[in-house]
Amino acid sequence: MATLVLCYNNLRVFSGVVKIRRGQAVALMMACTTMSDLKAITYHLAQELLTKICPHAPLAEETRKKACEIMMLCSDSPKCQSAPIRATPNLYPIVGAAAIVAVATYAAVQTV
C-alpha cells in the first residue's frame, strides 16, 4: 500500500529509483508497534492515495473504491481519526513490508 501511494502518479518511476531512505524506514518501524498503529497508518495511506487519483484516469473509479474499502477495513482503530502517524515525510513505503511481516508472523503462530 505504501509503495503504491509513493509510486502513484509519480513520473520518477519511469526515470529512476523511487524509494525511501533507511532512516525514514527505521523511524516508521519505530512508530508502528501495534496492530492499531498499522491500521492507522494504512488508513492514512488510503486517504493519501485518494488525493492523488486523477479523475480522468481510466481506472480512477475502481482505485477510489478500493481505497475506500481499505479505509473502511481499518477504521475500527481509534488512531484512524487522529492525525497520521509520521516521524518524517514519505515514510509509508515500509508499511507494506511491515504488514507482510505481521501477517506472516500471525500465520506462523496459528500453525503451531
Averaged pLDDT in 10-residue chunks for the chain of 112 residues: 81 87 73 87 88 91 94 84 53 56 70 64
Q: How many angstroms separate the CA atoms of 83 and 81, rounded? A: 7
Cα atoms in the 13 Å half-sphere on the side-chain side of 110: 6
Q: Which of 62, 57, 86, 63 is nearest to 5 (CA)?
A: 63
**pLDDT given for residue 90 in this prediction:** 46
pLDDT confidence of residue 15 = 94
CA distance 61 to 85: 27
Given a contact cutoff of 8 angstroms between Cβ atoms, the answer to whether 37 and 79 are in contact is yes
Which pLDDT does position 105 carry in this prediction?
Answer: 75
